[in-house]
Amino acid sequence: MDPSADEWKSSLSSIDRYDIIQRILSSLPSQDMQEAIAIEHAAFTTSATRVSLPLSTSPPLHLSLSLCHIQTLTLTILPPTQHEYDAACEARPSTPSALDNNNNNNNNNNNNNNNNVPQITLTSSPDSGIPIGPYENCSPIAHGVTSTVFRSASHALKLITAPRALEPHNPQREAAVLRAIHPHPACIPLLDVFRDPQEHRPVLVFPYMPLTLAALLDSSSSSSSSSSSSSSSSSSSSSSPSLAPATLAPIFNNILSALAHIHALGILHRDIKPSAILLASPSGPAYLSDFGTAWHPSLSPPTEPFPSKVLDIGTGPYRAPEVLFGDTAYGAPVDMWACGAMLAEAAAVPPAPLFESRPVHEDGNQLGLILSIFKTLGTPTPQTWPEAAQFKVRPFELWTVFPPRAWNDILPGVEPRLRDAVAALVRYDGKRATAAEALAWECFAIHGE
């Protein structure tokens, strides 16, 4: 075979292949990502695929034939050309069913000797993913604004998909910040950084973790809903927390330990949320990840000094109110507010966000989130939030006055110590607890090491 027949593959980047996988996925009735990956991989692979057919079957012209049994032909598929690769990806739904229909027709035409007619059997490579640099069989597991995360065995690869840095997202700065904070047992370690050979996009490599706190909360919430449906006669006051304090303690101990460490270095994470907390198991250990928008006192650009930081930070219901009202001189308390909102969500029965927040494209100025915060904590006043008097946008005027709700009403059924911890973190004024202070609380102590 002419070696040049495979040259087209070297020009097909991982981004190109991922885009093709996405197109395949959109056309699959099952919407199964693994099926889409397997289809693309089968079209791309150079490894031989063997198909057993009865002698009566007419083989496709592009297959080479070798007689291996008196009643069976073994067909070896040659490495595809780019035209064949494109055609295989475009004809993805029909190929398996065409083979199945051909097999059914053969069986119907040979009812008298079915036992002598071998079934069509496809045996493909057990690996189904795309290569990214030196890492093989990379399958997408998560998508973000500027990146896609792939799994390759025990590694997680964060492939930057944005064509340029979209501040405050910056992969080079993320790598530098991770190097500055490592090693710390509760911060995800950066293992490698390289550029995708075809597209020259940055790739950050981390240890793969099977869970996130977001997935754990979703699972617990679903379990609680199922339990409520099956036992609707029981009172809600007798319900037990979806995530027990004994489960939350080690997870949030790790989170607070990581925050105390980075805050001591002057670093702000700026996007604390359940999906940024990676878990080795449902009970931990937990690792703080996703430093793509972190602020660093010396690594962040001169255009973002401490008093004039960007406001486009945080995610949905975890955004701190000072950011919503234009305080560019915010500090570590924005991370602590988000941590408290995350703790409230995890401790709730069942788990649910503390505040309501619609997607940015529906509520770009976050008025809905502000209203939800005010309805929960009460409309702030100069007495309850004196720092806000200096904000560019003061929260004291033109707002309906809502009275504050009691925390046992906001978080019913939650253990008092956890409820008190949330109250100390989710508050307007500058007395919000620090990570180091919260780490010393009994509700986050780890017993029985």
Q: Residue ranges of the domains in the chain?
A: 3-105, 131-207, 211-225+238-444
Q: How confident is the model at residue 79 (pLDDT cuts 50, 70, 90)?
A: low
Question: What predicted TM-score, i.e. pTM, was given to this entire model?
Answer: 0.71
Looking at per-residue confidence, does 392 or 41 come out higher? 392
Q: How far apart are CA 167 and CA 73, in angstroms?
A: 59
Q: Which of 105-109, 164-168, 308-312 has the lowest mean pLDDT?
A: 105-109
Answer yes or no: are the C-beta atoms of 272 and 214 closer than 8 Å: no
Q: How confident is the model at residue 104 (pLDDT cuts 50, 70, 90)?
A: very low
Q: How far apart are CA 113 and CA 449, in angstroms?
A: 68
Answer yes or no: are the C-beta atoms of 47 and 80 closer than 8 Å: no
Answer yes or no: are the C-beta atoms of 186 and 286 closer than 8 Å: yes
For 131-207, the fitting CATH number among 3.10.450.50, 3.40.1640.10, 3.40.50.170, 3.30.200.20 is 3.30.200.20
Residue type, 331: G
Q: What is the pLDDT of residue 407?
A: 97
**In this predicted model, what pLDDT tens digit does every residue of 279-299 receive, in sequence order?**
999 989 999 999 999 999 999
In the block, which residue shows the tokens 């650009």? 301
Which residues fall within 8 angstroms of residue 49, CB to CB, at 6 or more apart? 42, 76, 77, 122, 123, 124
Q: How confident is the model at residue 40 (pLDDT cuts 50, 70, 90)?
A: confident
For 211-225+238-444, the fitting CATH number among 1.10.510.10, 2.40.128.130, 3.30.420.40, 1.20.1630.10 is 1.10.510.10
Three-class SS state of 135: strand
In the block, which residue shows the tokens 């500090």? 331
**In this predicted model, what pLDDT tens digit does every residue of 187-199 receive, in sequence order?**
999 999 999 888 8
Q: How confident is the model at residue 144 (pLDDT cuts 50, 70, 90)?
A: confident
- Please state, as a whole number, how many other Cβ atoms lie within 10 Å of the Cβ of residue 330: 21
- CATH topology of 131-207 equal to that of 211-225+238-444? no
Q: What is the pLDDT of residue 105?
A: 39
Which residues fall within 8 angstroms of residue 419, CB to CB, at 6 or more apart? 347, 407, 408, 411
